[in-house]
Amino acid sequence: MITIENSRTGLPVLKKDDRFLASSIDPLREAQAWAAKVLTGIDPQESLIVLGLGSGYHVSLLKELSPRSEVIVIENDPEVIAQVLSILPQLHDLAIIRVPDWTKLNENRTFCDAVGGLYRVAPHGPSCQIEKSYYKAVTALLLGRDKLSFLHLVKARPELLGLLNPTSLVEFQDDNISIKTLQKLFSPAALTSRERRIWRVLEELIV
């Protein structure tokens, strides 16, 4: 159940399961500190994938401070989405992905487009604390460091599948994906130029 309470500064803040989804004292100040950390060293070409909509202030500020960056939010609670959009109508054009089953995220076009290029993962603390198991799985997927997550990410980049050896993909048992893992997965038939491309792309994901 979602309720709304005013912070000490007077701004409305969402509360879920008796836990605030932003600072109950000064949500804007909290959002500024969070956004500054996320945007440190940002590449304008990077998409920002925010895990959790919270009370929306951190996302609104992120868009304001980095207008050239694509901002995408993964939020699992439709009530949170509805309440935030009522408080912050300027976020109506925000790309919000709601896929309750994280294993189906790679069926979402917006998600696939984002992970098909450079991206930065920006977890929102209060949201991730309340939905721990969901956001832990989504984070692992976006980092691609375990077998299942790696395969899901590769599916989001179908042009890369032809560069990998199907037999090796099925057989590899590494708990954590590394560059050595990738060496095992390359197809000997892959063209040199295409091989360089997959190195570049996959190093973004696992290094």
Give mean pLDDT, residues 76-95: 96
Q: Does residue 151 lie within any of the structural domains?
A: no
One domain for residues 14 and 73: yes
- Do 8 and 27 contact (CB within 8 A), yes or no? no
Within a domain: 136? yes
| Same-domain check for residues 30 and 116 | yes
How many other C-beta atoms are found inside a 10 Å radius of the C-beta of residue 64? Answer: 11
CATH of the domain at 36: 3.40.50
pLDDT, one tens digit per residue, over 152-190 is 777 777 766 667 766 776 666 666 666 556 666 666 666
Domain of 172, in residue numbers = 156-206
pLDDT of residue 203: 62
122: Cα within 13 Å, side-chain hemisphere: 28
Q: For residue 48, give the H/E element and its range.
A: strand 47-51
Is residue 150 a part of any domain in this protein?
Answer: no
Boundary-marking domain end, from 94, 110, 143: 143
Residues 57 and 86 in one domain: yes
Task: Give the global pTM.
Answer: 0.78
**Does one domain contain both 202 and 125?**
no
C-alpha to C-alpha distance for 58 and 158, rounded to whole angstroms: 33
Average pLDDT, the chain: 85
In this structure, are 173 and 137 located in the same domain?
Answer: no
